[in-house]
């Protein structure tokens, strides 16, 4: 059973450039969430996608956008990169809470993409 996969594993970009990160959810999952983890900090929630729509969003600027495809995979796009965007970007998948009628379920995280902005 394939877990959550992310690509690429590492990426180096220059300030002002744009980047796209990719995520494939765990088999059977259809909800994808993205997190940003700066060095030495806990992960911060960026947004969640379900049924190809953004359902929840954290406190991140519009430079951060996403997309979910019919096969449930997802992309995270970041425009006009800043040095402060350097971080580990994590993808997590889960079943939608509506299908379970509760919040009692776990999320599975991928290994992350390490983005360095120079």
Partner 1 sequence: DAKTTQPPSMDCAEGRAANLPCNHSTISGNEYVYWYRQIHSQGPQYIIHGLKNNETNEMASLIITEDRKSSTLILPHATLRDTAVYYCIVRGIAAGNKLTFGGGTRVLVKP
Where does this chain bind partner 1 (CB under 8 A)?
A: 4, 31, 33, 35, 41-45, 48, 55-56, 58, 90, 92, 94, 97, 102-104, 106-112
Residues forming beta bridges with residue 67, ordered by sequence position: 75
- In angstroms, give the least distance from the CB of 90 to partner 1: 5
CA distance 57 to 65: 10
**Contact yes or no for 106/38 (Cβ under 8 A):** no
**Closer Cβ to partner 1, 55 or 63, answer by number:** 55
- In angstroms, give the least distance from the CB of 7 to partner 1: 14
- In angstroms, give the least distance from the CB of 62 to partner 1: 19
The verdict on whether omega for the bond into residue 43 sits within 30 degrees of 0, i.e. cis, is: no
Q: Which two tokens stand for residue 78?
A: 């970041």
């Amino acid at each position: 059973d394939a877990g959550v996969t992310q690509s690429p594993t590492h990426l180096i970009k220059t300030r002002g450039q744009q980047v796209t990160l990719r995520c494939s959810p765990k088999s059977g999952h259809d909800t994808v969430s993205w997190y940003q983890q700066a060095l030495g900090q806990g992960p911060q929630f960026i947004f969640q996608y379900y049924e190809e729509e953004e359902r929840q969003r954290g406190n991140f600027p519009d430079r951060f956008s996403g997309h979910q495809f019919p096969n449930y995979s997802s992309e995270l796009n970041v425009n006009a990169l800043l040095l402060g965007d350097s971080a580990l970007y994590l993808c997590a998948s889960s079943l939608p809470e509506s299908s379970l009628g509760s919040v009692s379920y776990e999320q599975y995280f991928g290994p992350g993409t390490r983005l360095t902005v120079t």
